Structure 1
Amino acid sequence: MATKPETAGRMPGGMHRGRKEGSRTFRQMWKYKALYLISIPGILYFLIFKYIPLGGSVIAFQDYNIFKGFTGSEWVGFAHFAAMFEHYDFLRILKNTVLIGIYDLVIAFPAPIVLAILLNELRLIVFKRILQTVVYMPHFLSWVVIAGMSVAILSPTTGVLNQFLGFFGIEPLYFLGDNSYIRSVLVGSGMWRDAGYGTILYLAALAGINPELYEAAQMDGANRWKQTLRITLPALIPTIMILFLLHMGKFLDFGFERVWVFLNALNTENGEILDTYIYRAGLLSQQYSYTTAVGIFKSLVGLVLVMVGNYLSKKSTGEGLY
C-alpha cells in the first residue's frame, strides 16, 4: 500500500518562513516599542501634511473648480504646463529663483562648514559655548523680525551700514529699494540666520574624529592648517555630501517667507521667486491648477537634481542618500 509523503499535512515552506519573519519583526518592534511610540507624531505629520496632500496634484491636469471638486472638474491634460512656459513673466521668475539658489549654494552652504571648523579650533570651552549660543540664536527669530532688523540696518537715512559708508564719503545706498542688491540681501540674511544652527551636524561629525590623528600629525610637523586640510575636511566629507544632496532637493524651494517680507515695488524685478509667484497667482488670483503645475515642476527639478547628485556622489566619494 502506498504511503503518504512525509511532508503531507505540513505547512508549505514559503508560508512557514513568512510567519517566522512576521513573528521576528513583531518581536523587534515590541522590543523597541518606546522608540516606535515617540515616532508616531512624526509619522502622522508626514502622512497628513506631506503624503495625503499629494493627491491634490491631479488638479494640475484639470481646469479645477472648487465647487465641482476633483471629480467634477474638466480634464485639460498638460495645458497648464504649456501655459506656464508661455507666460511672459515665468522665465524671468525662474531665472531669479535659479540665480538666488546658486548664490545660496555657493555662498551660504559653505558658511556652516567654515564656522564649525572655526568653533572646533577654540580651546577655551566657556568662550566656545557662549559663542555657539550667540550664533544659534538668530535661527529662532521669525523672518518678520529678521526683515525688521534688516530695514533698520540697511535704511538709507538711519541705517548703521549707510552711516558707516558715510565715513568714507560714499553716498547712502537704498539696499532694499534697488534690484541690484536684493539678491545679496536675501542670501546674506538667510546665511546670518541659519549658518550658526547649521553647524550642529558638522560639530557632531568633528567630535567623532579620533584625537590621536591630530597628535600623530602634530608629531610629523603638520601645523593647524595642514591638519584641517588632511584630517578635518576628509572626516566631514560624508556629512557634507549628505547635506549637499538634501540642499539640492530644495534648490528651487528657496522659501516663501524669507523672500516675501523683503519684496516691494522697487525690487520685485530681481527679487520675486517661484514661491512668491505661486502665492500671487494661486491664492490671490485663484489660479489653483496653474500654480499646482508650477509646484510639480519645482518638485520634478528637485528630484532630478537629487538623483543626478546622488549618482555623482556615489561614483566620486562612495557616499549617497540611497
Structure 2
Amino acid sequence: MPSVPADVPAIRSALLGWYDVHARTLVWRAPPGSRGRPDPYRVWLSEVMLQQTTTPHATPYFLKFTERWPTVSDLAAAEDADVMAAWAGLGYYARARNLLACARAVAGGHGGVFPDTEAGLLALPGVGAYTAAAVAGIAFGEAANVVDGNVERVMARLFAVETPVPTARPELRALAGSLVRDERPGDWAQALMDLGATVCRPKSPLCGDCPLTTWCAGYAGGQPERYPLKLKKAERPRRSGVAWVLRDEQGRVALVRRPDKGLLGGMLGLPTSDWSAAPDTIPPVDADWREAGFVEHVFTHFSLTLDVRTGEGTGDFVWTPVEQALGALPTVFRKALERGLGAFSG
C-alpha cells in the first residue's frame, strides 16, 4: 500500500480551509464549523437517499419527506404504501424498505433517538458501514472513516493507487482512515466528499482549484484522471417483457402491488409479464389489446425492453387516476404508462 505522507496535519489544514470557503450549501447540512450538531434523522435520511442518486435529484425528495415526516418517529408511523409512493422515482427501492425498518427500530427500540456511536448505528436494520460512519461522524462528531465513491477517487489519485477497483477498496479505505483525526470529523468527511464531487471529478478534474495538489501523486505523475484504475465491466444482460396499460370507463389506470420481495418490491406497478429472455406474454385480462411501442430502462444488473400494450376493461386491480399513477409509479412503469397514454390520445 502507498505510504501515508508525514505531513497529514498540513493536508487536513489545507482541505478544511478549502471547505470553509467552498462547502456546498445542501438542505440537510450544517455550515462548516457549526457548533450545534446536525439532526441525526436528517443526516441519516439524506445519506440513504444519496446512495446511487445525485444530489440535485435527491434534494426535492428530502424536502418532501421531511415536510411530511419531520421526525424519525413520524416516518416510523407512516404506512408502507405511502412511503413507497413518496419514494417513487428515486430508484433502488430496497432502500425505501430499509428506511422504514430502520425508522421503526429507532422509534420502537431506542425511543425515537438514534444511537450516537458508529457501532450502535451499524446494529440498526438496513444501515451499512458507510451510512453508520457518515451519521456517526457528521451528526455525533465521532472520528469515523466515511468513504463513498468520491472519497475513493480522491484517495486513488492522492496516493496513485495502482490496484484497480473494486479490488482496491480495502486499500482506499485504509488510506482514507489514515487521514482521519478527532478534529472536525464531520467537516472532514464532508470536505472529502465535496472535493470529489466538485473538483476531483471523474472526468476533467479541476486540479488548478484543488487544495491537495502539493501532495497528490496522481497530479505529480501528470495523469490524475487515470485513477482510479477500473477492471473492465462485464456486459449488462438484456431482458424483455410486456407492460399492460389498462383503463376503465372512468379513465383510471389499472395498477398492481408488486410482491414485497424482489425487484421494485412493495411498489405499485403496471401489470406486467416476467422480465426474461423469453417472457410470458399472456395478458392479465381479456381486452382489445393494441401495440403502443417500446420503452427502454436500465437497472443495475440488466437492461430491459418493455413492449407496451394498451386496452380498456375491468378487473381486480388498484384503479388509480392517471395523474396519481404518474406520481406514484417507479420510473420504468411511468415510462411505460406515458407511452401507453400517448397511444390512447393518438
TM-score (norm 2): 0.22
User: Which structure ranks higher in relative contact order (CA pairs < 8 Å, sequence separation ≥ 6)?
Assistant: 1
Larger Rg: 1
- Higher strand content, 1 or 2: 2
Q: Which has the higher helix share?
A: 1
TM-score relative to the length of structure 1: 0.23
